[in-house]
Every structure is written in structure tokens, then in C-alpha cells.
Structure 1
């Protein structure tokens, strides 16, 4: 995949399993509605890359998104519904409750990497992502789909099919696409924690900058 690859190999996958991508954690959410001034809600439905795995609280890219919205006086609430280790099946199961409770205007979907690491059939991952997107759209939310790559040791054919899945779904379902969450840091080992899987705190602004150009046009501004 040349530059566009997620730099980890078999050893890192083993370290991942042992050290935490599959460890579940709870998520925190800002209030969906304020009695004084109701605000539209952005829900981020992701895995450890969005759940601040290995980071100090409120230093991940989702927390930085909240700060950027406040700085630019864009009045949205952000609910981080990301769980370390989550798969597309987990996200699909949680979507009805999230949609009913938070009633988001925008859903950012950052899932799929753990499916590959667990050997979930690609067709199952694609079906789950399709359902998540459709559930969001049925609730009148716009969708930002965040693309990922998988390790090169999975084979070139699989890695290409995996990444192309995101493009296909975004095109078919009229969702906005972030091509690759880790673009720009994927070949910089110093931007990753010791497992070479999870970005460091220093890398979080780059992740937000990859999402922002796709998300920003969907935001209502006063």
C-alpha cells in the first residue's frame, strides 16, 4: 500500500490483543438537549481510535472536536459513543438506543478495524456498516463514514477490498467519507504508542484535521 498503510505487523497484532484494543470501556457523552437552548448533536460511534485508548482524559480527537466547535462558536453537542475493542456488530446493536436517546443530527462512524483483526468476514462487516448508516439516516441524521486500512500482512487483495468497502458504502448510501483516519501519520512511528497501533496524544490533532474537512460542511452555523 506504499505510504497509505497502517504500520503494524503480526507482532503488533498480538500485542494489541494482549494489551487493550479488545478491552471495552464506557463512553461519556455531553448532554443531548439543554432545557434552555436545545443543540443539535454529533454522535461519534467508534472503537479505541476514538475512545482515547492510552490517552489522558479529554485529549483525544473527539475531545478536540468539542473544543474546535466551541472556539468557532458552532453550537453542537458531541457525544462520544466509542468503545475500545468495538466491532461493527457492537455498533449496530447499540445504534437504536443511541438514536432514540440522543437524536443526533450527525453520526460519525469509525468502525471496522477490529472486525478485520478478529477475522470477521468482509461481507458481514459491510452489512453491519450499511445497517448502521441506514439506521442513522432513518433517524434523519447525516453520516460521516471514516475509512481504515488493515495490516499489509493480511495480503494486498484483502487490504484493497477492505478499504474499498468504505468508498462503496459512502457512494451507495450518500454518506460523507473520510478516506483514512490515520492519513499523514501512518508512517511515523513516533506518532504511535508502544503497541504501534494507537496514536499518541501528539497525533490527535492530525486525526481531527482528517475528519474536519468532511464534517464541517454538514454543520449549521449561526
Structure 2
């Protein structure tokens, strides 16, 4: 004897309540995401895939048993203008809990106005915060041949933005690499991009600044 649609529904409901039927539930496990928006220093330029500091960060999270994922949206050659234009779509797609902004070095290499770099970084911080993310701003320094005043002003703008926007700050990504006594051994032939051996040092700089943001 065939059952009506209504009788079938009643029977399924009764069976489920009795614990005899397990209905499939499609629930996507969620975990906080860390979005890295950077340039070649974060995009593994000249490196074997999986050896850069962002990939090492994923391993560190696993070691620390921190249930967070990492999205590396870094692009070699990117500027703060490029990052600012890409950011809204990245925020909408990944809904990160933390945004790491590692940009500005290419602005300096191209001689772009410092005021523009500062505005772009500030806007990226504000946009990220408005989307509910915490922000880690990563600073950079330029070679001494740019002149003392330019170097000081460029290095200072990251701290200025961080204070104004209330973000976390890592003043210099390449501390212990670019200023190391053996710095020439830690860079690729272009003297701009660190070798694989330098990236654990870089992660060692990033981790203490990032870790408090993950526990909030």
C-alpha cells in the first residue's frame, strides 16, 4: 500500500524523534581566517612553493593547535594602491578575522608620494576594521641610498598609521635579515628578496605581533 506524501512526512518525523533516522545536516565548519595582503616578500618570489613565511605561518598555527586558516592574497610587485583596490572583494569573499597588510615597499621603489602610501594604508585599515577584522600592519625600510630623510619618513609612516587607526604594528618585517651582519647571505642575487633560509626569521618577527590578535 502506498503512503501519501503527508503520511511519509509524518512517518519520517516520528522515526527521527525516536532516534531511528538520522537526517543529513549540511553544516560547514567555520574557523577564523587570516588574510595576508602583501607583495613579493609574502608571495614567495624566487622561492620553492611552501617555503615562504606565510606558508610557515600555516604550519605554526597547526603546531600551536590554533584552528585558524590562512589566505595568501599577496601579489609580487603590488603597491598600496593595488592592495587597497583589491581589499573589499577579498574581505567579502574570505570574511577574515585578521588582516595582515604587508605593502609599501614597492611604493618606495617606484618613488611614489609618501602621503599617498599613508592614505592607502590607512584606508585599508579602516576598511578591514569596518568588515569586523583585526589588523596587523607590517612596516618596511628602504636602502640607505634613498637618503636619510626619506628613509626616516618612510619607516615612520607605518607607525603613524597604526597609531591613528588603532592597529597592531610590526615596525620592520626584515629585522634580523636586512640588518643582519650576514645580510648578503640571506638575500637572493637581486638583494631585495630574502632566500628561503631567511623566512623562518621573518615568521619569527611576525608571530609575536600576530599571536595576540588570534586570542581576542
Coarse TM-score class (shorter-chain normalised): 0.7 to 0.9
1:97 to 89, 108, 116: 89
Tell me the residue number matched to 2:146: 154
2-side partners of 1:220 and 1:125: how far apart? 30
In angstroms, what is the RMSD of aligned CA positions?
Answer: 1.3
Q: Which runs of 4+ in 1 moved over 3 A?
A: none
Q: What is the TM-score normalised by the length of structure 1?
A: 0.83
2-side partners of 1:208 and 1:197: how far apart? 17
Tell me the residue number matched to 1:141: 133
Tell me the residue number matched to 1:110: 102
- Structure 2: state its 5+ residue gaps: 1-25
Q: Based on CA coordinates, which of the two structures has the bigger radius of gyration?
A: 2
Tell me the residue number matched to 2:185: 190
Q: Does 1:121 align with 2:113?
A: yes
Tell me the residue number matched to 1:212: 207
Deviations 1:84-116 (A, max 9, x none): 000000000001100100000000000000001
Q: Does 1:82 align with 2:56?
A: no
Higher RCO (Cα < 8 Å, 6 or more apart): 1
Tell me the residue number matched to 1:61: 53
2-side partners of 1:80 and 1:41: how far apart? 10
Q: What is the TM-score normalised by the length of structure 2?
A: 0.85
Query: What is the CA-CA distance between 1:220 and the residue it aligns to?
Result: 3.2
- Structure 1: state its 5+ residue gaps: 1-33
1-side partners of 2:112 and 2:105: how far apart? 10
1-side partners of 2:187 and 2:88: how far apart? 33
